[in-house]
Amino acid sequence: MLDAASLFNESFYLAQNPDVAAAVQSGVIANGFQHFIESGQFQVRQPSPLYDESYYLSTNPDVAQAVNSGAFASGFQHYIALGQFQNRNPSFLFNTVYYLEENPDVALGVSQGNLTGIEHFVNFGQFEDRSPTPLYNSGYYLSQNPDAAAAVERDELTGIQHYINIGAAENRRFTPFINPVGSSLPNRVATGDTTATSTVFWTRSSAPGLITLEYATNLNLINPIGVLNTTVNDITEPVKFEVNNLTPNTQYFYRFTNAQGVSSVGIFRTPAPVDLQKGLRFGATADGQGELMPYISVNNVPERNLDFFVQLGNTISADTVSPDLPNVQQATTPLDFRTKYNEIVSSRLELNPWANLQASTTLYGTWNDQNLIENFAGGENPALSPQQFFFGTEGQFINDTDQFNIGLNAWKDYNPVGNQVYGETGDPRTSNQEKLYRFQPFGQDGALFVLDVRSFRDAPLPQVPDPALDSQINQFLASSFDPNRTLLGKTQLQDLKTNLLDAQNAGITWKFIFSPVPIQNLGLYESADRWEGYAAERTELLQFIDQNQIENVVFVSGGADGTLVNELSYQFNVDQPQIQTDAIEITVGPIGQQLNLGKTFIPATFGSEIINNSSIDTITQETKDFYQTLDTASSRDQFVQTILNHQLSQFGYNPIGLDETQGKAELIRGSYFAVHNFGWTEFVVNEETQQLEVTVYGIEPYTQTDIATIPANITNRQPEVISQFVVNSV
């Protein structure tokens, strides 16, 4: 067995307790261990990074009861005498079940009664660089601590040794899920999936034990409407409460308080009933990655007093290496994905803009490919997929695979969304699957329709190469009009049609359809992944909107990496004329993402991507060189817009922009084309006139290299108005 002296860490104890260190220094007591045995253990002082009294008692209520009754003087005494033999966990840093599962040789010795798991780790495992817990990430610890990495490189010690003997006493982080000197509610709080009478409350606590939610209609939370409790056991798993006793058109305040007494507060409003016209204000963005945290581009969202905010997917990049998950090119495990999501709602450089946004309003959201793996299609047969290395080959569709569900569950865990499931739809790709589609009216002013464009889509068509032969282009366009191919799945498409009619018949002015990928025609570049790659279904939807005279339809879309505003048209086949509709699209984002060119990174905005990724047959080298001489975002926008409009004209597609000649729209500032910024977009429906005002906020884009070089140059940026225009309702 491991005795108290062997588990005790003298240097750690003295560093954590300066009063004890002073007493030892002056000769009052012989050493820290004497102090701990005689008094420290009863004062809930931590003897070692491997044992935490508060953790042990909160995760073992029976032990806490035994201590309270006097059966044991402390949890530490119980652990030494019994707990280690019962495979109880002494702290975050040591998970007995994990350690034995990862080390069958140790498990054999434990089963034979030769030693305990913690005994093996203290005496052998730490020196052999065996991981004591899934929370400990050696790559993360060494990347955050170059001195430790250098010592490991010199073979002086292992990474976990460094943490136990040096790092813990200095409050270094061994996992991105716990900040020893930060809040134990590190991701703040959020609400989402809010209806007129319900919402989902969300937070994550890095302190195990009881956590309490209070919500009320007053700032001080006096006489709360509800008080709910649960117990946190897994600190990587967020806490959710779904409530159904709210009042429409009401502002709410709420507070989470964890076992350490740490609190975090938030605010949100419930939607107005459909017979009330009161105006509407909301925001939307898409496309980010943890490498570019903190997301400075949304810094001003909390001050805008929004009714809600929509994130249109790709808030993480699961298939690139990020600071909190170093050396992992593709997230695969639940912990990998949770690490990615935790990264974007955690402080970096002492800033946490995304968490601040979430606490300031209520959220709606959906996912996109970078939430799982690039260009995945949930309705594809995994055995025929080029991504079978990731999904495996079992199941009729990719959305049946374990890997799909690992990624989807992580997205659900880290977003304030409720559980909705399709029943027996008659369509095997949607039957009994998770339902991310949402429809929510906001008074007479507008209705929200959130689409899931990943879970049920057919396999994408092969992307047209660049350069391409005419025959390759024609083949792609013809195949895109195959009526048997779907982006949404039949069930979701029918839900959307039904709810659009519901909104129109209810007299709701604006219908905002949130799509993670653009629906406007943007030409061949990356067209296979957009609605253009599923042209028959695109036509079916736009024709339905057109023929049913559903008015004031605005697609708010991600995946374009910039602001591209356009009127929507459709055609029945590649050789048929375009039919104009009254619907428009406004693309949003990116929050912050980058493009890896091999030796360097560049900001992944639409402008920089199309210039750098297009062949010199499509965009000549001379044109690319001239682009590099342009020194303002607006001049580059104008230049790229000219290039894109030329490409669109070759297919008979609409040029970028809105027709202002009929009084439908008016540009107030900037352009309908802004593709060299990181940012978000605000939508405001005027209470009286029902006019829609759209404002694009942005900052100068950057890369992770910029953050590492001079972080203040990034963190001091503030979102500014890049573009603004109004659209009049019919």
pLDDT at residue 599 greater than cutoff 90 = no
Predicted confidence at residue 148, as pLDDT, reads 97
Cα angle for residues 193, 194, 196 (degrees, 5° grid): 145
Residue 174 lies in a domain: no
- The helix (H) or strand (E) run that includes residue 474 is helix 470-480
**pLDDT tens-digit series, residues 47-95:** 999 999 999 999 999 999 999 999 999 999 999 999 999 999 999 999 9
Q: Are 285 and 590 in contact (CB under 8 A)?
A: yes
Q: Are 162 and 136 in contact (CB under 8 A)?
A: no
Calpha distance 470→134 (Å, rounded): 53
Strands 579-587 and 553-557: parallel
Helix/strand/coil for 724: strand
Instruction: Report the candidate in 334, 295, 305, 345 with the shortest Cα–Cα distance to residue 190.
Output: 345
Predicted confidence at residue 458, as pLDDT, reads 98
State the chain's mean pLDDT as an integer: 97
CATH code, domain carrying 563: 3.60.21.70
* Residues 57 and 193 placed together within one structural domain of the fold: no
Predicted confidence at residue 86, as pLDDT, reads 96
Instruction: Label residues 651-689 b or e (16+ Cβ within 10 Å = b).
Output: eebbebbbeeeeebbeeeebbbbbbbbbbbbbbbbeeee
* Residues 535 and 679 placed together within one structural domain of the fold: yes
Instruction: Report the candidate in 118, 113, 151, 148 with the shortest Cα–Cα distance to residue 132.
Output: 118
Calpha distance 295→278 (Å, rounded): 31
Residue 664 lies in a domain: no
Q: In Å, how far from its chain's centre is CA 493? A: 25
Number of H-type helices and E-type strands within the chain: 25, 23
Residue 173 lies in a domain: no
* Residues 389 and 502 placed together within one structural domain of the fold: yes
For 369, the token pair is 């490919």
Angle formed by the axes of helices 535-547 and 470-480, nearest 10°: 50
Residues spanned by the domain of 309: 280-656+671-727
Predicted confidence at residue 603, as pLDDT, reads 97
CB atoms within 10 A of CB 374: 15
Per the structure, the count of domains in the chain is: 3
Instruction: Report the candidate in 718, 685, 373 with the shortest Cα–Cα distance to residue 554.
Output: 685
Amino acid at 302: P
What is the torsion angle, in degrees rounded to the nearest 10, for the CA atoms of residue 674, residue 628, residue 375 and residue 476? Answer: 90
Q: Answer whether the bond into residue 655 is a cis peptide, omega within 30°.
A: no
* Residues 414 and 515 placed together within one structural domain of the fold: yes
**pLDDT tens-digit series, residues 128-166:** 999 999 999 999 999 999 999 999 999 999 999 999 999
Predicted confidence at residue 662, as pLDDT, reads 84
Residue written as token pair 């300031």: 360
Predicted confidence at residue 275, as pLDDT, reads 95
* Residues 405 and 493 placed together within one structural domain of the fold: yes
Predicted confidence at residue 145, as pLDDT, reads 97
* Residues 222 and 159 placed together within one structural domain of the fold: no
* Residues 578 and 641 placed together within one structural domain of the fold: yes
For 162, the token pair is 């460094």
- From 269, 292, 313, the end of a domain falls on 269
Instruction: Report the candidate in 434, 404, 461, 686 with the shortest Cα–Cα distance to residue 552.
Output: 686
Residue 566 lies in a domain: yes
* 3-class secondary structure per residue, 154-170: CCCCCHHHHHHHHHCCC
Q: Answer whether the bond into residue 467 is a cis peptide, omega within 30°.
A: yes
* Residues 379 and 482 placed together within one structural domain of the fold: yes
Calpha distance 646→103 (Å, rounded): 62
Residue written as token pair 């009729």: 396
Predicted confidence at residue 332, as pLDDT, reads 98
Residue 28 lies in a domain: yes
Rounded alpha-carbon distances, angstroms, from residue 161 to 84, 90, 121, 602:
21, 17, 11, 38
Calpha distance 335→434 (Å, rounded): 21
Contacts 24+ apart (CB under 8 A), 42-47: 42/73, 42/74, 45/13, 45/16, 45/17, 46/12, 46/13, 46/16, 47/4, 47/7, 47/8, 47/9, 47/12, 47/13, 47/76
* Residues 372 and 467 placed together within one structural domain of the fold: yes
Predicted confidence at residue 1, as pLDDT, reads 87
Q: 716's torsion region: left (phi>0), alpha (psi -120 to 50) or beta? A: alpha
pLDDT at residue 476 greater than cutoff 90 = yes
Predicted confidence at residue 663, as pLDDT, reads 87
Percent of the chain at pLDDT exceeding 90? 99
* Residues 324 and 203 placed together within one structural domain of the fold: no
Calpha distance 410→448 (Å, rounded): 24
Instruction: Label residues 606-635 b or e (16+ Cβ within 10 Å = b).
Output: bbbbbbeebeeebbeeeeeeebeebeebee
* Residues 152 and 300 placed together within one structural domain of the fold: no
Residue 179 lies in a domain: no
Highest mean pLDDT among 58-62, 539-543, 659-663: 539-543
Angle formed by the axes of helices 633-649 and 621-629, nearest 10°: 150
234 band by pLDDT with thresholds 50, 70 and 90: very high
CATH code, domain carrying 198: 2.60.40.380
Calpha distance 669→725 (Å, rounded): 7
Predicted confidence at residue 583, as pLDDT, reads 98
- From 134, 167, 200, the end of a domain falls on 167
- From 269, 289, 323, the end of a domain falls on 269
What is the torsion angle, in degrees rounded to the nearest 10, for the CA atoms of residue 314, residue 320, residue 322 and residue 326? Answer: 150
Instruction: Report the candidate in 696, 698, 685 with the shortest Cα–Cα distance to residue 728.
Output: 685
Residue written as token pair 């000219």: 642
User: What integer is the mean pLDDT of 473-480?
Assistant: 96
Residue 712 lies in a domain: yes
* Residues 612 and 553 placed together within one structural domain of the fold: yes
Helix/strand/coil for 426: coil
Instruction: Report the candidate in 612, 589, 614, 593 with the shortest Cα–Cα distance to residue 604.
Output: 593
Calpha distance 18→36 (Å, rounded): 13
Hey, CA dihedral for 47, 48, 52, 56, is it positive or negative? negative
Residue 666 lies in a domain: no
Q: What DSSP designation does 217 have?
A: S
